[in-house]
Amino acid sequence: MTRRAFFVRTAVLAPVVLAAPALLRAQNSSTVNMNGDFYIPVRPAPKPNATAQLDDDAIQALERTLACPCPCTLDVYTCRTTDVLCTNSPAIHRDVVRMVEGGYTGDEIVSQLMDVYGQRILALPRKEGFNLVGWFFPFVAIGTGGLAIAYLLRTWRNNAVAAAALATTSGVRSIGVQATDEEMERLNAALRDDSR
């Protein structure tokens, strides 16, 4: 096996081998039920002399950052205002309103919800810890792809330059083609025109 072949095989097979156990485990432990009750009450005691810190628009904005725990993949606001069959998002909305009336700020409400549901209550993973891999790896991968293309294009251009130099020194334009400058220019122009 050549070194290149080895690297190609390793690059392709490694992710498959690494991902397989996780996928199999997820497959085996899957307990998703669309009709299930995913709601868990979050009702901390109101603060003393509580006054609401958030208005309706702020509550709406906050609920757009929360994921409905049922498998609808929508945020709490969108789910509760459209999916009448889901009982989870209206219940979470009631908890949010209760916490707002209890004097909790947006960050405190999110924190209370995360204590109960964990990170899955956030529609967008926080940019911290392992989640950073999730956020930035696509950019790293695309950036690496961009660099690879830049390298490829440079190599191809160098090939073209080398071929042109060889043709000039040997007095031959390319294999099997002998033409004057003027003829080559006309041919190139015709090719360009034809390919457009």
Partner 1 sequence: MILVGELSLWVAILMAAWTTTVSWAGGYQRRSDLVFSGERAMYATFAFTTVASIGLWYAIFTHDFSLKFVSSYSSRNLPSVYLFSSFWAGQAGSMLFWTLILAGYGALAVFFNRHRLRAMMPWVTGTMGLVTLFFLLTTAFGANPFERLDWVPADGRGMNPQLQNPGMAIHPPMLYFGYVATAVPFAFAIGALITRQLDGEWLAAVRRWSLLSWFFLTIGIVLGMWWAYVELGWSGYWAWDAVENSSLLPWLSGTAFLHSIMIQEKRGMLKKWNVTLVVLTFLLSILGTFITRSGVIESVHAFARSNVGPWFLWFLIISTILTAVLVSTRLKDMEAKAELESMVSREAAFLYNNLVLVGIAFTTLWGTLFPILSEWVQGEKITVGPPFFNSVNTPLGLLLLALTGIGPLIAWRRASSANLKRQFLAPSIVGVLAVVVLLALGMRHFYALVFYGLAAFVATTITMEFVKGIGARRRMYQENLATAGVRLVVRNRRRYGGYVVHFGVVVMFAAFAGSYFKKDYAEVDLKTGDTFTATDPWGDTWTFTSEGMNSFETLNRRVTAISLVATYNGKPMGRMLAEKRQHFDSNKAETFEPSTEVAIMEMARQDVYVFFSGLRDADTAVLTFNFNPLVIWVWIGGFIMAFGGVIVMWPQAERRERGYVAELSPQHDGALVGAGV
Show contacts with partner 1 in window 71-100 (CB under 8 A): 71-75, 78-79, 81-85
Nearer Cβ to partner 1 (47/150): 150
Let me know the angle formed at the C-alpha of 12 by 146 and 158, rounded to the nearest 5 degrees.
Answer: 40
Paired strand residues for 122: 66
Interaction of residue 191 with partner 1, rule CB under 8 A: yes
CA–CA dist 127, 110 (Å, integer): 15
Helix, strand or coil for residue 67? strand
Structure tokens at 148: 């690879």
Q: Which among 14-22, 51-59, 104-112, 176-184 is the span making contact with partner 1, rule CB under 8 A? A: 14-22
How many residues lie near partner 1 (CB under 8 A)? Answer: 72
CB of 171 to partner 1, least distance (A): 19
Q: What interhelical angle do 106-117 and 56-64 show, nearest 10?
A: 40
Q: Is residue 61 close enough to count as binding partner 1 by CB under 8 A?
A: no
Binds partner 1 (CB under 8 A): choice among 160, 165, 177, 179: 160
Taking CB under 8 A as the criterion, the residue among 51, 170, 180, 195 binding partner 1 is 195
Q: How far is the CB of 40 from partner 1 (least distance, A)?
A: 14
On whether the CB atoms of residues 69 and 60 are closer than 8 A, the answer is no
Q: Is 35 exposed, middle or buried (0-12, 13-18, 19+ CB in 10 A)?
A: exposed
Q: In 3-state terms, what secondary structure has residue 105?
A: coil
Stretch that binds partner 1, among 15-23, 40-48, 50-58, 91-99 (CB under 8 A): 15-23
Is the Cβ of residue 54 or residue 74 nearer to partner 1 in the bound state? 74
